[in-house]
DNA sequence: ACAAAAACTGCAAAATCATGCATTAGTAGG
DNA sequence: CCTACTAATGCATGATTTTGCAGTTTTTGT
């Protein structure tokens, strides 16, 4: 009986040693090492607890808290009451697309809603203005829409009454649109009533111009395929220029900006014959 | 001697503590973790019940209520009498796709990452499991990926080293994938090294089966176009059946589930010759 | 309308945190 | 070697946050 206890005692002593080793293992740790340890622990467990760390590293909780505050201010973790958790990946979600000046764009596209009618065949290019437009298309509109923009297709796929056709091809990843010959081929076979073209730049002489060559080609094909061509953009795009031409003003039927149609900044465009909404 | 017993007592206390810790697994949960747990639970079950949460987390109902109020004021959920429900009006943001049992799916697809190599040509079908897979594809993988799923294309468009080709066609809006002859035509011309097929249902006799006819046709074409066919799914899909056949087990090269490859539930599948990861 | 369940309010105990201050260790310069 | 300086750490103190409980109010179902 005694022997059993003695044995247990020895065993427990061993365990105790291990404990002590673990406790004091990190005793002479530099601050940087500690931070690394904390970050590793955080990734392992999804969280760290102040008291646990103080125990594990044999330091006062105050020091741990200071560490956590420091790491928090570096945005490496998020401090919470009792410890810290992983900083939530803000842009991990590819799917939330930030739209700059969304209110302004809403104002623009709302005007263009009057151009929509049931049973139209519509082509939409990419761009955040067109995305806002897609959001605001009335739920009861019945139409066929072609697009080659992923975000716009995502948006329109929520729409109950729209026949949606995505134009496939090689993805231009930053703009999230397809480009290339496959796109041109499909677009050139469409007979659309109306197309909505985002604009990088517009001016009197060159008309619509684009920053990318491939996009400019696709837009040319869109215009060719549509009876009516509408371009929506904010007024800061007026009188600017990009390397690749898309079409001149005579090929545009309607432009839509946030300005009053009678605004003097649009005078020259109005003279060229394009309808201003 | 007394000391020995004292020591034993301390040790047993420690062991006891560990037991208690395991028993009350969530006892030392940080508030932030709790909120995360609640939100996960909410997405899984579409609702949470105050009393259930109090029981599950071993906390008073008051605390749970305070949590729910807090999350409610952050607009992350909507508190109702007895618990909380998901905040509606998700039409505001089409783009955040809720993935049920994301952790389980991560476990599955992580196994499949070993099948990826540089310079492969890959076809990916739709489905949330494949979406999780797309998220976890290493940033340094250089490959060409074909897909006809909007969310997967969105996800992969963030990937710097992947040539991404979207297969266009008519959109099946609820699944956010393209379907139809256009898709078949493109797929049948691809010569892919490997394809990853989501599964609605799988069983020994019929193999892969699908709920939609069109999808089943597309998947047939995918299999035809690929040297190697991989299907990833959770084990609850095992031994279920849908109306439209895709392929039998002999046409599958690899299946991946969250189960251990030696699990007895996979015995019959293993016998059929398919490799189980 | 009434009883039971759920929710809210105020309160107190406990845990956690921020701050100021003293101590220590390491370091650079004379 | 000594001194002054700085950074890091621990401790004391008071503030803040969290949590459960008791009592009251609101909601729900019958």
Domains recognised in chain A with CATH numbers: 2-85 (1.10.10), 102-276 (3.40.50.10470)
Write out the DSSP string of A152-220.
Answer: HHHHHTT-TTEEEEE--EEEETTTTEEESHHHHHHHHH--EEEEEEE-SEEETTTEEEES-HHHHHHHH
Q: What is the distance between the alpha carbons of residues B226 and A3, in angstroms, rounded to a whole number?
A: 69
Structure tokens at A155: 């948006």
How is chain B split among helix, strand and coil, in percent rounded to 5?
Answer: 45, 20, 30
Place of tokens 């309607």: A254
Q: Do B96 and A97 touch (CB under 8 A)?
A: no
Q: Do A173 and B182 touch (CB under 8 A)?
A: no
Of A47, A85, A173, the CB nearest to B164: A173
Residue B139 has pLDDT above 90, yes or no: no
Interface membership of B99 toward A (CB under 8 Å)? no
The reply to whether the CB atom of residue A23 sits less than 7 A from any atom in nucleic acid chain D is no
Interface membership of A99 toward B (CB under 8 Å)? no
Report CA(A152)–C1'(C28) in Å, whole number.
63
Q: Mean pLDDT over all residues of chain A?
A: 87
Q: What whole-number percentage of chain B has pLDDT above 90?
A: 67
**A56-85: pLDDT as tens digits:** 888 899 999 999 999 998 888 999 999 999
Q: What is the distance between the alpha carbons of residues B125 and B138, in angstroms, rounded to a whole number?
A: 19
The shortest C-alpha distance from A32 to chain B (Å) reads 25
**Of all protein residues, which has its CA closest to the C1' atom of D17?**
A81
The reply to whether the CB atom of residue B62 sits less than 7 A from any atom in nucleic acid chain D is yes
Q: What whole-number percentage of chain B has pLDDT above 70?
A: 87
Q: What is the distance between the alpha carbons of residues A2 and B58, in angstroms, rounded to a whole number?
A: 42
Instruction: Tell which phi-psi region holds residue A79, choosing left (phi > 0), alpha (psi between -120 and 50) or beta.
Output: beta
pLDDT band (50, 70, 90) for residue A19: very low
Interface membership of A178 toward B (CB under 8 Å)? yes
Q: What is the pLDDT of residue A102?
A: 85
Report the pLDDT averaged over residues B47-55: 92
The reply to whether the CB atom of residue B185 sits less than 7 A from any atom in nucleic acid chain D is no
Interface membership of B35 toward A (CB under 8 Å)? no
Q: How far, rounded to the nearest angstrom, does the alpha carbon of residue B4 sit from its chain's CA centroid?
A: 52
The shortest C-alpha distance from A15 to chain B (Å) reads 9
* CA nearest neighbour of B201 among B237, B229, B162: B237
Running DSSP on this structure, what letter comes out for residue A22?
H
The reply to whether the CB atom of residue A28 sits less than 7 A from any atom in nucleic acid chain D is no
CB-based contact A34:A65 (threshold 8 Å): no
* CA nearest neighbour of A141 among A112, A157, A119: A119
Place of tokens 């809006």: B173
Interface membership of B93 toward A (CB under 8 Å)? yes
Q: What is the distance between the alpha carbons of residues B186 and B172, in angstroms, rounded to a whole number?
A: 17
Q: Which residues of A touch B153 (CB under 8 A)?
A: 150, 171
Burial, B210: exposed, middle or buried (Cβ in 10 Å; 0-12, 13-18, 19+)?
A: buried
Lowest mean pLDDT among A21-25, A26-30, B25-29, B237-241: A21-25
Burial, A260: exposed, middle or buried (Cβ in 10 Å; 0-12, 13-18, 19+)?
A: exposed
Report CA(B92)–C1'(D30) in Å, whole number.
40
Report the pLDDT averaged over residues B127-151: 94
Interface membership of B178 toward A (CB under 8 Å)? yes
Q: Do A176 and B186 touch (CB under 8 A)?
A: no
Q: Which residues of A129-146 are buried (b: 16+ CB within 10 A; e: fewer)?
A: bbbbbbbebeeebebbbb
Closest nucleotide to residue A68 (Cα to C1')?
A: C17
* CA nearest neighbour of B228 among B202, B255, B188, B268: B255
Q: What is the pLDDT of residue B207?
A: 93
The shortest C-alpha distance from A59 to chain B (Å) reads 20
Q: Mean pLDDT over all residues of chain B?
A: 87
Q: Report the residue of chain B nearest A49, measured CA to CA.
A: B30
Report the pLDDT averaged over residues B210-234: 95
Report the pLDDT averaged over residues A18-47: 70
Segment holding A123, helix H or strand E? strand A120-124
Place of tokens 């000046």: A101
Write out the DSSP string of B101-167.
Answer: THHHHHHHHHHHGGG--TT-EEEE--SHHHHHHHHHS-TT--EEEEE-BHHHHHHHTT-TTEEEEE-
Q: Do A95 and B97 touch (CB under 8 A)?
A: yes
Residue B97: count of CB within 10 angstroms of its CB:
16
**A160-210: pLDDT as tens digits:** 899 999 999 999 988 999 999 999 999 999 999 999 999 999 999 999 999
Q: What would you measure as the largest C-alpha separation in chain B, in angstroms?
A: 86
Q: Report the residue of chain B nearest A168, measured CA to CA.
A: B168
* CA nearest neighbour of A132 among A171, A162, A167, A98: A98
CB-based contact A114:A124 (threshold 8 Å): no
């Amino acid at each position: 009986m005694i022997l059993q206890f003695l044995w247990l005692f020895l065993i427990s002593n061993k365990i105790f040693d291990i404990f002590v080793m673990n406790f004091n293992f990190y005793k002479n740790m530099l601050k940087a090492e500690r931070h690394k340890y904390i970050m590793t622990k955080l990734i392992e467990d999804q969280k760290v607890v102040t008291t646990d760390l103080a125990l594990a590293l044999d330091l006062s909780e105050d020091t741990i808290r200071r560490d956590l505050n420091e790491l928090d201010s570096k945005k490496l973790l998020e401090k919470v009451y009792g410890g810290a958790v992983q900083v939530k990946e803000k842009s991990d979600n590819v799917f939330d697309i930030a739209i700059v000046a969304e209110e302004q764009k809403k104002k623009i596209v709302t005007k263009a809603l009057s151009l929509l009618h049931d049973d139209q065949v519509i082509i939409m290019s990419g761009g955040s203005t067109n995305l806002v437009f897609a959001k605001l298309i009335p739920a009861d509109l019945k139409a066929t829409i072609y697009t080659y923009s992923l975000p716009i297709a995502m948006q329109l796929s929520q729409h109950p009454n729209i026949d949606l056709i995505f134009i496939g091809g090689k993805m231009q990843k930053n703009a999230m649109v397809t480009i290339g010959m496959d796109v041109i081929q499909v677009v050139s076979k469409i007979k659309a009533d109306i197309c909505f073209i985002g604009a990088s730049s517009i001016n009197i002489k060159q008309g619509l111009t684009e920053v990318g060559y491939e996009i400019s080609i696709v837009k040319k094909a869109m215009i060719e395929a549509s009876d009516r061509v509408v371009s929506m953009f904010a007024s800061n795009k007026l009188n600017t220029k990009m390397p690749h031409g898309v079409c001149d003003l005579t090929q545009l039927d309607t432009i839509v900006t946030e300005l009053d149609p009678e605004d003097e900044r649009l005078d020259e465009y109005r003279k060229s014959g394009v309808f201003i909404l």
